[in-house]
Amino acid sequence: MSIKFVARTVLPTEWGKFDIFGFEDDETGKEHLALALGDLKSSNDPLICRVHSECLTGDALGSLRCDCGSQLQYAMQSIGEAGSGLILYLRQEGRGIGLLNKLRAYALQDEGADTVEANVALGFSADERDYQVCQPILKFLEVAQVRLLTNNPKKVEALEALGVEVTEVLPVHTGENPHNEKYLSIKAEKMGHWR
């Protein structure tokens, strides 16, 4: 898989001044981001890193149906407090099924399906995401070791399969509320996510 570096600029946030890198996937045309805080090469210690899949409803609209927006904010805050770190923001809406299919899945959940059953009913697997794009982005940024902010063991497996050393898993306990209680339980029971 190959990517094209497109641009780098500064993104000031309440958690610090991040450098934001834009990449384009040569194969799919999808655009991905890397948000880096601090000098990624200044320490021999593995970087705090979050691999975050786009969630318009959670990240931008504040949806309580998931914990995505809270996890993204938690990652930015954790990196800000540490003084350095990295977020890979991947354009894989709805665990890879796209925004409109995610809304269709939500409608099925409104009728009683859980998050996995809804994806399967629409003809998808429980999780359609692909993390291969992480490898060329991390290579471009010269990052080989990470302390991964995640509750998803499949992200750890995917990065390690790509040759990225995950030295530590940092659980993300945030964003639980009455609206996403069933969703989080199903992710743990059916998809093996840690809680």
- Catalytic residue numbers read 127, 129
Per DSSP, which regions of 3-119 are E strands? 3-13, 16-25, 31-37, 47-53, 85-90
Beta bridge partners of 33: 22, 89
Spatial separation of the C-alpha atoms in residues 89 and 73, rounded to whole Å: 12
Residue 148, classed as helix, strand or coil, is strand
